[in-house]
Amino acid sequence: MSATENLNKEESKRNLNFIEQIVEKDLQEGKNGGRIQTRFPPEPNGYLHIGHAKAICLDFGIAEKYNGICNLRFDDTNPVKEDVEYVDSIMEDIRWLGFHWENVFYASDYFGQLWDLAVRFIKEGKAYVDEQTAEEIARQKGSPTVPGINSPYRDRPVEESLELFYKMNSGEIPEGKMVLRAKIDMASPNMHFRDPIMYRVIHIPHHRTGTQWKAYPMYDFAHGQSDYFEGVTHSLCTLEFEVHRPLYDWFLDQFATGDYRPRQIEFNRLNMTYTMMSKRKLLQLVQEKLVAGWDDPRMPTICGLRRRGYTPESIRNFIDDIGYTKYDGLIDVSLLEHSIREDLNKRAMRVSGVIDPVKLILTNYPEGEGEMVEAINNPEDESMGSRQVHFGRELWIERDDFMEEAPKNYFRLTPGNEVRLKNAYIVRCTGCKKDENGVVTEVYAEYDPLTRSGMPEANRKVKGTIHWVSVDHCLDAEVRLYDRLFLVENPSEEKDCDFRDLLNPESLVIKQHCKVEACLKDVKPLDSFQFQRIGYFNVDKDSTPDHLVFNRTVSLKDSWKKQQTKN
Ligand code: ATP
Ligand code: MG
């Protein structure tokens, strides 16, 4: 191998995350016959969020990169909280992110196999039915430094456990009356080894298997075995499962023969500032109508981000940038915002939208006349071309682009000052009209005909450029200004208060009677635009041709603020 090849190899190795490094080593060692298989295992008890996207990118990404397969497996072992609504949304969101599963499986597909395996454990003296209450069992558990106490049922005859296990599933045993426990070691320093529960009784019908089962396997027993039945080679999960791994391996060791073993590898979960990711709390926000549903654009759910205007690429790039480690941390939500800005900067058409309009009248522009000016659709992408925009005597501009008495470093409209109207003329402000409350109702200016593009003074420099739309040709729109849902940086850490008290009351500000360019007449939900100088906006699903609704995806950096900090 040449020196450069060697270097390239080193280079690419450095860029591999620790999981890719493990996978490559396993491949080199010929483990599992060179096969790579992963799974994404959501519990269908809620909608997917940006944290799940991190797991999805890894599970599907590893399979893609190493020519393996990734299956979607619904971890539906608890009928109490699960629903088909969630199953459908999960599939839609994974597809939208751009990933493909090889098969769809359900943990409930394995209920029969898991049952047979549990029976085998009982027969081999490795599991027993415990008739104690949950409280009694918890009391005997001990602590990491104090050994637990054996259940009085621990050494009951195999036949007795078998008979009771069947009863647990026949409907004769009420919920909470008995459980099946693995017989491992009540003194183990790993608490998960202290006779973990394998099965419990639940009488609620299951969304797929109906009333066929009354005894349901617990996560620890179901997960590893499902991985094994399916042929998973690398079972990737978040760090909180690290302490479960010895148990994961123990269950497999009891029955698996041969070389093949799924291997559990843990990575850090995604936690993000100003964001709550617990499905239980997100459900609460939805149920208590504190947000407009799972797809409320303020939610960290995939469907919420989609409705907000996030693209799959922006989410995948963000996940790529933050990477995978062995340490939990808190990611700044501004990194996610940065990612969508970068993506939309490349693809979004630039248009004019005026959120808080005030009328600008060009007093020296001929009444009843108008003209078209050219606007570049996207300076970052020439192929997007340009369009013609109506210009005239009366324009809508942003209210805060005028100040009657402005500080020195204010480069927008103030009496005596010149600004460029984007794509059109330079105008000089001459004054304004106010109502009886002192609120500005009209701003006046004179335009300079020689400053239009193609004219001798077209390139004359002025310090400020502002956007506008023609009063006679614009469209009305509702604009929803979204902000962070929580007021505090780490809402999950605020243990002493109700998380609902931490909600940002200004996370949604609705602006009616905004004015947008006529070219937005036929927009469709999810279309994205840059409203020049303001931010990226997309069309909400509530939008109709008669009532346009835009969501602010993310703002641009505010040039006024930037100037303020500079001076
Ligand atoms: P629950 O609170 O209901 O257990 P969960 O967030 O663990 O929810 P699951 O549906 O069990 O949700 O998660 C599916 C997969 O997504 C799991 O492998 C889990 O580790 C991963 N996952 C969940 N939340 C995050 C997160 N914040 N960051 C990275 N991965 C996550
Ligand atoms: Mg879970």
Nearest atom of ligand 1 to the alpha carbon of 45: 3
Nearest atom of ligand 1 to the alpha carbon of 270: 28
Task: Report the nearest-CA residue for atom 15 of ligand 1.
Answer: 42
Residue 23 Cα to ligand 1 midpoint, Å, equals: 22
Nearest atom of ligand 1 to the alpha carbon of 277: 27
Structure tokens given for 202:
């639940």
CB 63 within 8 A of CB 70: yes
Q: Which domains does the chain have, with CATH numbers?
A: 32-267 (3.40.50.620), 279-349+477-566 (2.40.240.10), 353-467 (2.40.240.10)
Question: Would you put residue 465 in left (φ > 0), alpha (ψ -120 to 50) or beta?
Answer: beta
Structure tokens given for 241:
């499962």
Looking only at the bridges linking them, the beta strands covering 197-201 and 179-182 are: antiparallel
Give the ligand with the smallest distance to the CA of 238.
1
Structure tokens given for 468:
């506008």
Instruction: Give the residue, out of 38, 52, 236, 284, with the most ligand 1 atoms within 8 A of its beta carbon, to mutate for a pocket test.
Output: 52
Query: What are the pLDDT tens digits along the chain (567 aa)?
Result: 555 555 555 555 568 999 999 999 999 999 999 999 999 999 999 999 999 999 999 999 999 999 999 999 999 999 888 788 899 999 999 999 999 999 999 999 999 999 999 999 999 999 999 999 999 999 999 999 999 999 999 999 999 999 999 999 999 999 999 999 999 999 999 999 999 999 999 999 999 999 999 999 999 999 999 999 999 999 999 999 999 999 999 999 999 988 899 999 999 999 999 999 999 999 999 999 999 999 999 999 999 999 999 999 999 999 999 999 999 999 999 999 999 999 999 999 999 999 999 999 999 999 999 999 999 999 999 999 999 999 999 999 999 999 999 999 999 999 999 999 999 999 999 999 999 999 999 999 999 999 998 888 989 999 999 999 999 999 999 999 999 999 999 999 888 889 999 999 999 999 999 999 999 999 999 999 999 999 999 999 999 999 999 999 999 973 333 444 443
CA 451 distance to own-chain centroid: 46
Residue 376 Cα to ligand 2 midpoint, Å, equals: 48
Q: Computed over its alpha carbons, how large is the radius of gyration of the chain?
A: 31
Residues with active-site annotation: 43, 269, 279
Residue 42 Cα to ligand 1 midpoint, Å, equals: 7
Interhelix angle 245-255/111-123, rounded to 10 degrees, is 80
CB 217 within 8 A of CB 114: yes
Residue 457 Cα to ligand 1 midpoint, Å, equals: 60
Task: Report the nearest-CA residue for atom 13 of ligand 1.
Answer: 42
Give which of 519, 423, 518, 539 is closest to 474, Cα–Cα.
518
CB 419 within 8 A of CB 464: yes
Nearest atom of ligand 1 to the alpha carbon of 56: 16
145 sits in which H/E element: none
Provide the pLDDT for residue 11.
56
Nearest atom of ligand 1 to the alpha carbon of 48: 10
3-state class (DSSP) for residue 459: coil
Residue 185 Cα to ligand 1 midpoint, Å, equals: 29
Residue 104 Cα to ligand 2 midpoint, Å, equals: 18
Residues 6+ apart with CB under 8 A from 134: 176
Give the ligand with the smallest distance to the CA of 53.
1
Q: What is the widest separation between alpha-carbon atoms in the chain?
A: 101
Residue 396 Cα to ligand 2 midpoint, Å, equals: 51
Instruction: Give the residue, out of 269, 275, 318, with the most ligand 1 atoms within 8 A of its beta carbon, to mutate for a pocket test.
Output: 269
Structure tokens given for 45:
């008890």
**Using a 6 Å CB cutoff, which residues line ligand 1?**
41-43, 45, 51-52, 54-55, 75, 237-238, 269-270, 277, 279
Structure tokens given for 55:
């797991």
Provide the pLDDT for residue 109.
95
- Using CA atoms, how far apart are residues 22 and 385, in angstroms rounded to an integer? 47
How would you write 325-378 as a 3-class SS string?
CCCCCCECHHHHHHHHHHHHHHHCEEECEECCEEEEEECCCCCCCEEEEEEECC
Provide the pLDDT for residue 566.
43
Nearest atom of ligand 1 to the alpha carbon of 81: 3
Instruction: Give the residue, out of 43, 80, 83, 245, with the most ligand 1 atoms within 8 A of its beta carbon, to mutate for a pocket test.
Output: 43
CA 453 distance to own-chain centroid: 44
Residues 6+ apart with CB under 8 A from 349: 377, 378, 384, 529, 530
- Using CA atoms, how far apart are residues 535 and 552, in angstroms rounded to an integer? 7
Provide the pLDDT for residue 111.
98
Give the ligand with the smallest distance to the CA of 73.
1
Provide the pLDDT for residue 10.
57
CB 518 within 8 A of CB 474: yes
Task: Report the nearest-CA residue for atom 22 of ligand 1.
Answer: 52
Identify the residue whose tokens are 């020195």.
408
- Using CA atoms, how far apart are residues 7 and 159, in angstroms rounded to an integer? 64
Nearest atom of ligand 1 to the alpha carbon of 44: 10
Residue 52 Cα to ligand 1 midpoint, Å, equals: 6
Task: Report the nearest-CA residue for atom 23 of ligand 1.
Answer: 52
Provide the pLDDT for residue 567.
38
How would you write 217-239 as a 3-class SS string?
ECHHHHHHHHHHHHCCCEEEEEH
Task: Report the nearest-CA residue for atom 8 of ligand 1.
Answer: 279
Instruction: Give the residue, out of 87, 101, 106, 238, with the most ligand 1 atoms within 8 A of its beta carbon, to mutate for a pocket test.
Output: 238
